[in-house]
Chains A and B, each alone.
Chain A
Amino acid sequence: MGPRCVDALNQALHEAFEASDRVCLIGEDVFDPYGGAFKVTRGLSTKYPDRVYSSPISEAGITGVAVGMALRGLRPVVEIMFGDFICLAFDQIVNHASKLRAMYDDQVTCPLVLRAAMGGRRGYGPTHSQSLEKHLVGVPHIAVAAPSAVHPVRDMLRRAILEDDRPVVFLENKLLYGERLLEPEGGRFGEFAARTSEGLYPTVVLSLGGFEHADLTIVTFGGMVPFAMRAAEELLLEEEVYSDVVVLGQLAPPDLTAVLPSVERSGRCLFAEEGTLTGGVGAEWAARIQEAAWDALEAPVARVAAADDIVPCAKALEAQVLPDHEDIAAAARRLLRQGCRSRTP
């Protein structure tokens, strides 16, 4: 087992601060000893007191300041305490950060990393539990990244800060913070053979059939990854169905390179996300996968997502709204019965 995710992120910040004195951080309650609501910024303000800014509660202000810093050559990191509050920074992201480089004909860049905690299952209620990725994946000229337990999380965040000249929205799942990251052993994560793509925000493909055989491709990211892996193992144990779990590290711009070989193996694809269904990340990816792999598909790409509803506080009600491994397995079973082309099972 690897380090806890929160420690990996914390290390990445320390490494980035050490690597370049242009890196700085702004957010709410980020000073020691509190070190941020989820402790990701712990130790930074002690070590780099003049490069960490604990701000008043104003996400629009924080992000606006960071955009200005980035334009003037710094590499700021913004911490949005709860991803839900990204809505307050939306104007700065959509109308400013994403557009400035194109509007000024490449004479400026806006290399900022906006980190935000997404996801529910902690009983935080409707305005502290959402997964709002879908509102960001359609914004041109930004990168939307999402680490998971199978990603090299430390490298992802450090490289986002130091190497990516685009505005990057870096979406961390709340449940992931306390989890230990999985580390591959001999190219495997337990039962799954694994391949990790190149790039700043790699796609990790996990294959129960050793990349030789697959009955199903589950595409997912972030907090849904443990549920997808569990569903895949249950489908194997119960029905000897072999799944690939394709774990996206970059939600936008969409890159199908690592997805298509799996879909061509399996002929059946399911997209799982924690955000609400309608207009979701899965809608965009499903459309692209169908356009690119129509001939290989046995059935339409299926989607598993949260109900189009608020996330309730009560845990039992929250569990009804949010998708889990049982929803993925049920959708997979439906999908495996669909389709009438003459592929062998």
Chain B
Amino acid sequence: MKPIVIPQEDVNSEAARIVSLRAARGDAVKAGDAILTVETSKAVFDVPAPGSGLFLPLFEAGAVVPFNVPVAYVAESPAELEALARQARPAAAEGGGGGAGQARVTRKARQLALQYGVPLEELKVSGIIKEKDVQDFLLASGRLAPGEDQVLTDAGQVPRGLERVLLVGAGLGAMQVMDILLNAPHQAIAGLVDDDESLRGTWVLGFPVLGTSRDLPRLWREAKAFDAAVVTISTSVPVRRALFERCRELGIPMANAVDPTVRRNRLSRLGQGNVICSFVHIGTCAVLGDNNFISAHSSIEHHNLWGSHITTGPGVMTSSRVRVGDGVKMGTGIFIQPGLSVGKGCQIASGAVLIRSVPDGHAVKTRITTELVKLEEQGTKQGAR
């Protein structure tokens, strides 16, 4: 058996048209016979038989055939010719290839279909199957409640293996937390909830507000739209605490959002649901509980022992062995001497310098006096000279 392949006579063409066949199927041909005439964009030329035997054409006159596939065979016996004819299927001649082929599905649509066990062949979609097509199918079949399709949009965006974090609270704190999570290699943002109903369906930094905290059970149990949550509110300790406890009741794991610039020293410990902002220093053996919000540039020195639900402004500096109780709220720029303790629920005003311990439930006020003096305009000064 010898295949006949059209030689590439010029670089201008990648295929040739068969102008004529000088032999029919089963005809005896001799090596060197000009059995095919073909035409490229440059020339018309004959193709000789590569050997003697029985001719088996695979294409008819007029077909356009690429240079790299057999266009015919020369068989050595009638039996071989029959065998070749059975197995030889003309390779993709122009216009002949393709067929229906497999349905094309976007990656997100495939993920969603897998998640819900949707058989893709049941979707009556022509062309590429998109996530929206799967969502529409789920909505139409009652397997998704209206509004739930939105959360899935973003759940599907998160590559496998990343922790999808839901942000509780969609205010200024949320934007800080988003910045932290966008820089976290192991975490991704699944969306936000906020108890301001008017924010539902809006977007924060490109991520959707999926509903209020009342939607948490549905989003967690039914939609499985996230893997963990974090409370982003820093201004109100009671609200922060209540939202954290609500999540815990639902069995939601709470994620720590720790900025990559944070310095955590050896043997320091962090509970869960903490937000630790840029450039915070957590000293050796320092321990923080759960659900704290520590603002930028704060320094929690070695062997500190902090409870839970604590919020600080930027630049809170403690010395060693300081203890801070649950639910403490601290302002901006506070210094605390070594070994002191701050009791539960205390509030410390900005600029305070603590030189003795504060018992539970106390506020620390500061008496820093500042005076506003209006600067004289330069022209007036010069005029008085």
- Dominant SS among interface residues on chain A: loop
Given contacts A38-B41, A237-B106, contact A190 B95 (CB under 8 A): no
Minimum C-beta distance from B244 to chain A (A): 29
Measured between C-beta atoms, what is the minimum distance from A211 to chain B in Å? 16
CB <8 Å contact, A344 and B206 = yes
Is B104 an interface residue when CB atoms closer than 8 A count as contact?
yes
Q: Given A122-B11, A191-B128, do A342 and B205 touch, yes or no (CB 8 Å)?
A: yes
Q: Are B104 and A345 in contact (CB under 8 A)?
A: no
B127 at the interface (CB under 8 A from A): yes
Which residues 102-154 of B have a CB within 8 angstroms of A? Answer: 104-109, 127-128, 130-131
By a CB distance below 8 angstroms, the chain A residues around B128 are 191, 233, 236-237
> Do A39 and B41 have beta carbons less than 8 Å apart?
yes
Interface residues of A in 195-220 (CB under 8 A from B): none
In contact, B130 and A240 (Cβ under 8 angstroms): yes
Name the A residues within 8 Å of B131 (CB-CB): 240
Point out the residues of chain B lying under 8 angstroms from A123, CB to CB: 11
Instruction: Say if the beta carbon of A316 comes within 8 Å of chain B.
Output: no
Q: A240, B108: Cβ atoms under 8 Å?
A: yes
Tell me, yes or no, whether A105 is within 8 Å of chain B by CB: no
Q: Mark out the residues of chain A between 323 and 345 whose CB falls within 8 Å of any chain B CB in the assembled complex.
A: 342-345
The answer to the question of A103 belonging to the interface, with a C-beta cut-off of 8 Å to chain B, is: no
The residues of B that contact A190 with a CB separation of less than 8 Å are 127
A291 at the interface (CB under 8 A from B): no
CB < 8 Å: which of B11, B109, B130, B206 contacts A124? B11
Nearest opposing residue in chain B for A39, CB measure: B41
* Most central of A39, A239, A343, A345 by chain B CB within 10 Å: A345
CB distance from B218 to the nearest CB of A (A): 23
B127 touches A345 (CB 8 A): no
Check: A238 CB closer than 8 A to any chain B CB: yes
Selected contact of A239 from candidates B11, B107, B203, CB within 8 Å: B107
Find out whether the CB atom of A238 lies under 8 angstroms from the CB atom of B107. Answer: yes
Give A177 Cβ to nearest chain B Cβ, in Å: 8
Q: Check A236–B11 contact: CB distance below 8 A.
A: no
Q: Which residues of A contact B15 (CB under 8 A)?
A: 178
Q: Scoring A residues 178 to 190 as 1 if CB is less than 8 Å from chain B, else 0, what string do you get?
A: 1000000000001
A16 to B161, alpha carbons, bound, how many Å?
Answer: 63
- Determine the chain B residues whose CB is within 8 A of the CB of A39 once the complex forms: 41
Quote the shortest CB–CB distance from A121 to chain B (angstroms). Answer: 11
A237→B110 CA distance, assembly (Å): 10
Q: List the B side residues contacting A124 at CB < 8 Å.
A: 11
In chain B, what residue has the closest Cβ to A1?
B95
Give complex CA distance A130, B11 in Å.
Answer: 17
| B127 lies within 8 A of A236 (CB) | no
Within 8 A of A (CB), among B76-119: 95, 104-109
A178→B12 CA distance, assembly (Å):
10
Task: Scan B338-349; emit 1 where CB is below 8 A from any A CB, else 0.
Answer: 000000000000
B11 engages A240 (CB within 8 Å): no
Give the chain A neighbours of B41 by CB distance below 8 A.
Answer: 38-39, 178
Residues of A within 8 A of B104 (CB): 237
Name B11's closest neighbour in chain A (CB-CB). Answer: A123
**Smallest CB gap from B154: residue in A:** A345
Per DSSP, chain B at the interface is loop
Q: Is the CB of B107 within 8 A of A345?
A: no
Number of A residues, CB within 8 Å of B? 20
Q: Are A240 and B203 in contact (CB under 8 A)?
A: no
Most central of B11, B41, B127 by chain A CB within 10 Å:
B41
Q: Which residues of B contact A37 (CB under 8 A)?
A: 12
Kindly supply a per-residue 1/0 record for chain A positions 36-66, scoring 1 wherever the CB is within 8 Å of any chain B CB and 0 otherwise.
0111000000000000000000000000000
By a CB distance below 8 angstroms, the chain A residues around B205 are 342
Find out whether the CB atom of B95 lies under 8 angstroms from the CB atom of A236.
no
Which A residues between 1 and 21 are near B, CB-CB below 8 angstroms? 1
Nearest A-chain residue to B44, judged by Cβ: A33
State the CA gap A335–B107 with chains docked (Å): 20
Assembled-state Cα–Cα distance A8/B130 (Å): 35
A340, closest chain B residue (CB): B205
A236 with B130: in contact, given A39-B41, A122-B11 (CB under 8 Å)? yes
On chain B, the residues within 8 Å of A38 by CB distance are 41
Q: A1-B95, A342-B205 are in contact. Are A240 and B107 (CB under 8 A)?
A: yes
Please name the residue on chain B nearest to A213 by beta carbon.
B132
Given A122-B11, A191-B128, CB of A236 within 8 Å of CB of B203: no
Identify which of residues 222-256 in chain A touch chain B, using a CB-to-CB cut-off of 8 Å.
233, 236-240
For B147-184 the 0/1 string (1 means CB < 8 A from A) is 00000000000000000000000000000000000000
- B12, B13, B14, B95, most chain A CB atoms within 10 A: B12
Shortest Cβ distance from B358 into chain A, in angstroms?
A: 42
**8 Å CB interface, B4-53 against A:** 11-15, 41
Residues facing A in B343-363 (CB within 8 A) are none
Contacts of A178 in B (CB 8 A): 13-15, 41
For the complex formed, measure the closest distance between the CB of A84 and the CB atoms of chain B, giving whole angstroms: 15
What is the 8 Å Cβ interface bit string for chain A, positions 104-137, against chain B (1 contact, 0 not)?
0000000000000000001110000000000000
- Chain B residue numbers with a CB within 8 Å of A343 are 206
Q: B residues within 8 A CB of A239?
A: 107
Chain B residues within an 8 Å CB radius of A345: 203, 206
Partner of A191, one of B14, B108, B109, B127: B127
Please measure, in the bound complex, the distance between the C-alpha atom of A39 and the C-alpha atom of B348, giving whole angstroms: 87
CA distance A343 to B207 in the complex (A): 10
Give the CA-CA distance A106 to B39 in the complex, in Å. 48
Do B106 and A236 have beta carbons less than 8 Å apart? Answer: yes
Given contacts A1-B95, A38-B41, A344-B203, contact A240 B127 (CB under 8 A): no
Instruction: Provide the residues of chain B in CB contact with A122, threshold 8 Å.
Output: 11-12
* Contact status A240-B106, CB under 8 Å: yes
Known: A38-B41, A39-B41, A343-B206. 9 other contacts (CB 8 A): A1-B95, A123-B11, A178-B13, A178-B14, A178-B41, A237-B104, A237-B105, A240-B130, A345-B203
- Chain A residues with a Cβ under 8 A of chain B: 1, 37-39, 122-124, 178, 190-191, 233, 236-240, 342-345
**18 CB < 8 A contacts A-B:** A37-B12, A38-B41, A122-B11, A123-B11, A124-B11, A178-B13, A178-B14, A178-B15, A236-B130, A237-B104, A237-B105, A237-B107, A237-B128, A238-B107, A240-B108, A342-B205, A343-B206, A344-B206
Name the 3 nearest CB pairs between A and B, nearest first: A344-B203, A240-B108, A240-B106
